[in-house]
Copies of this chain bind each other. A is one copy, B any other.
Amino acid sequence: MSDSSSGTPSPVPVFGEVFLRLKPHMAALDALLRVQIGEFEPEIREMADYCIDTSGKRIRPALIFLSGCKGDLAPTPELVKAAAVVELVHLATLVHDDMMDEAAVRRNRMTAAKAYGPVAAVLLGDALFAHALHLASQFPTTEVCHAVSMSTRRVCAGEIVQTLRRGTTEVSFEDYYRVIDLKTAELFRVSCQLGASLAGFDKGLVEASAAFGRHLGIAYQIYDDLADFFGDEKRIGKTLGTDLASGKLTLPLFRLLDCLPAADREELLAEIRGQREPRLPLRLAQMREHGIFDFVAAAIEAELDKARSPLAPWNDRPSTRLLLELCRVLTLQVAALRPTA
């Protein structure tokens, strides 16, 4: 849902360096997800198993582990359980995404929609989501259910707006930010919030962690949108220009529209609306000419600043050091996309 990784042969290790430290955490998450599969009704267990694959990027679980880190300690059962909840929600959204996009392949294998048909895929996504909330209800309080159910509703709202807006060009800058705030940043935000809260950190740090997650999520989505034009097809493992082809108005396109002379602008708008064939090579050349990369990279940096800033009072905490490291890595990832002059 948030990161458009349909058809990605192997996930880009976006936050690779930091995530390497989370091997025991991810192993514990794997073990708990295995147990969850056994909780599904016998008739759908194999299908649930198929959906709960373990090859994803697992950004949201990682955010829970990092924001709840107290030092070198092993992952607590609470953090592992919360990580499983957000990962199951994310997997449910992927199953529905692939069904809606009619995607046949994700992460080098058939999507559930392709394997079991679109109707079963809708219901399987529902079952995964229901089970995520069921696991969330196994905490002593309603906190996790409360937070995750609201976040899920917000993610859906963002996706609905994006869907209904596809191919239209009456979209403002604010609309763009609002959608990525809902569809991507929301689960990043709730992951950081729950990590800090379940670790027992004080209210101020929980709120600062949530704000960090939100802005990191926005930055990450803008990076993903930038990579759709400036990525290396082989490296990111997907076709470039899919947003232009599918009429999705993202930040690079917004900026290009602002830079183009009126006649050319009208033609690009027609391409976005699907009224004429998109001319990706031309648009890529124009993006280079008008310095779109630097503009979008600056927008990402602005979000990373907003992510770092609320954590300033807690800069000595292990969790803060790890979270700030994510910002540094994302900046490097953006730099790696920079077109060579």
Binding site for B on A (CB under 8 A): 40-41, 43-44, 47, 93, 96, 99-100, 116-120, 122-127, 129-131, 133-134, 136-142, 145-146, 149-150, 152-154, 156-157, 159-161, 163-164, 178, 182
Contact = CB atoms under 8 A, between A and B. Distances in A.
Contacts of A40: 153, 157
Given A96-B122, A145-B145, A182-B41, A134 B153 contact: yes
A151 B26 CA distance: 29
A164 B96 contact: no
Nearest to A93: B126
Contact of A129 (B118, B120, B126, B134): B126
B131 A153 contact: yes
23 contacts: A43-B160, A44-B157, A44-B160, A99-B122, A100-B123, A120-B164, A124-B156, A125-B126, A127-B153, A127-B157, A127-B160, A129-B129, A130-B150, A130-B152, A130-B156, A133-B145, A133-B152, A134-B146, A134-B149, A134-B150, A134-B153, A141-B142, A145-B145
Copies of chain A in the complex: 2
B142 A126 contact: no
A156 B96 contact: no
Contact of A163 (B93, B120, B153): B120
A160 B47 contact: yes
A47 to B, nearest CB: 7
Contacts of A100: 118-119, 122-123
Nearest to A163: B119
B161 A149 contact: no
A61 to B, nearest CB: 20
A126 B43 CA distance: 22
A126 B156 contact: yes
Nearest to A96: B122
